[in-house]
Amino acid sequence: MDIDEHQLRSTVAKTAQALRAAGVSFALGGGCAVYAHGGPVSEHDVDIFLTERDVTAARHALVEAGMRAAEAPHDWLAKAYDGPCLV
């Protein structure tokens, strides 16, 4: 599902605010990082990189911010949804 630019920017801001408030260190990656440096807008997700020890705190922070946690197919991957936008 393609996400419009407004939704994507809103999700990036919401994610960053929630993680910062929870004291979780993170890095923006993937298509959003490319977009931040002048590339094309990402069409479907927000990639966030963090340490394994912060996964539980990050998931909790995103759920507290109104996102929905989702099962991930791999143990090294965590997912949440902000409406239609995957984080």
**Both structure tokens of 34:** 């490319």
| SS3 assignment for 24-68 | CCCEEEHHHHHHHCCCCCCCCECEEECCHHHHHHHHHHHHHCCCE
Q: For each of the domains in the chain, give its residue range(s) and CATH number, in order of start.
A: 5-86 (3.30.980)
Instruction: Return d(Cα 25, Cα 5) in angstroms, integer.
Output: 25
Predicted model pTM? 0.89
For tokens 């939704």, the residue is 7
26-73 pLDDT, tens per residue? 999 888 877 777 887 777 789 999 999 999 999 999 999 999 999 988
The residues that bridge with 49 in the sheet, in sequence order, are 27
For residue 2, pLDDT over 90 is answered with no
How many Cα atoms within 13 Å fall on the side-chain side of residue 26?
A: 28
The pLDDT value given to residue 1 = 57
